[in-house]
Structure 1
Amino acid sequence: MTSVRFGFLAEPSSMSWSAGSIAPLPKYEQLVACIQDGERLYGDWCYPPLLPVSRNGGETQSAPEMPVGFALPATHELLLTGAHTGEEAENFFIALFGMLNGLRLQREGWQNFYRAPVRRGVLCDFHADAREIAQALEVATQFWDAQNDGGVRKLTFGALHWHLFAQLYAHDFERFNAQYMALDACWKLAQKTVVGCPQGGISHAKRAGKLCELLAIPTPAWAIISLDNKDCPLSGRRNDLIHEAMYAGHPVGFAHPAEYRDMERELTCLVARIFLRLLGIQNEYTSSTCTTRQTIGFSFV
Structure 2
Amino acid sequence: MTVIKTLNTKVKYVFNMKFGFLIDNKSFEFNGFKIAPVLEFDSVLRDFYKTARVSKGWFYGAKIELPRSASEKNEFEADAVVINSSFFSMSPTHEILSTEDYSDDHLRFLILGYGFLQGLYFTPESYSYLGRTAYEPTKLNGLLLNGDDYINGMESINRFYVNSNQEDQNQMFTCIHWYLIGQSYQFDWERFDAQYKVLDGIYKLSGTKANSHAARPIALAERYNLELPLWAKLITKKESKLSKQRNDLFHEAKYGGHPIGYSYPEENYNLEFTSFNTKLIAAALGINTPYLQAEPKNRLLGMWNISM
TM-score for the superposition, normalised by structure 2 = 0.87
SS in 2 for 1:255: coil
Partner of 1:87: 104
Could you say if the C-alpha distance between residues 79 and 130 of structure 1 is closer, same or farther in structure 2, counting changes exceeding 3 Å? farther
Partner of 2:36, secondary structure, is strand
Q: Please name the residue that 1:207 is paired with.
A: 216
CA–CA distance in 2 between the matches of 1:39 and 1:3?
27
Cα 1:273–1:213, aligned 2, differ >3 Å: closer, same or farther? same
For residue 211 of structure 1, give the secondary structure of its aligned residue in structure 2.
helix
Residues 48, 67 of structure 1: 8 Å contact kept: yes
Cα deviations by residue, 1:20-79 (Å, 9 ceiling, x for unpaired):
01010111011011111115123311112221356659xxx7632343401111010011
3-state secondary structure, aligned to 1:154: helix
Cα distance in 2 for partners of 1:9, 1:127 equals: 14
C-alpha distance in 2, partners of 1:248/1:150? 38
Partner in structure 1 of residue 19 of structure 2:
6
2:94 alignment counterpart: 76
Corresponding letter in the other structure for 1:109: S
Q: Distance in 1 between matches of 2:288 and 2:53?
A: 38
Q: Which residue is 1:170 aligned to?
A: 186
Q: Please, what is the CA RMSD of the aligned residues?
A: 1.9
Distance in structure 2 (CA, Å) of the matches to 1:19 and 1:188: 31
Q: Indicate which of 247, 250, 255 corresponds to 2:258.
A: 250
Q: Residue 64 of structure 1: which of 62, 71, 82 is its match?
A: 82
Residue 275 of structure 1 aligns with which residue? 281
Contact 2:67 2:80 in 1 (8 A): no
Structure 1: give runs of 5+ residues left out of the alignment. 192-196
Amino acid at match of 2:291: Y
Cα separation, 1, equivalents of 2:67 and 2:276: 46
- Contact 2:212 2:238 survives alignment (8 Å): no
The answer to whether the Cα contact below 8 Å between 1:53 and 1:63 also exists between their aligned partners in 2 is yes
Which residue identity does 1:76 align to in structure 2? H
Q: Which moved more, 1:39-48 or 1:243-252?
A: 39-48
Which of 138, 144, 148 is the matching residue for 1:121?
A: 138
Displacement of 1:80? 2.9
Counterpart in 1 of 2:233?
Answer: 224
- Of the three residues 150, 155, 158, the one matched with 1:138 is 155
| One-letter amino acid of the counterpart of residue 75, structure 1 | T
3-state secondary structure, aligned to 1:5: strand
Aligned length: 286
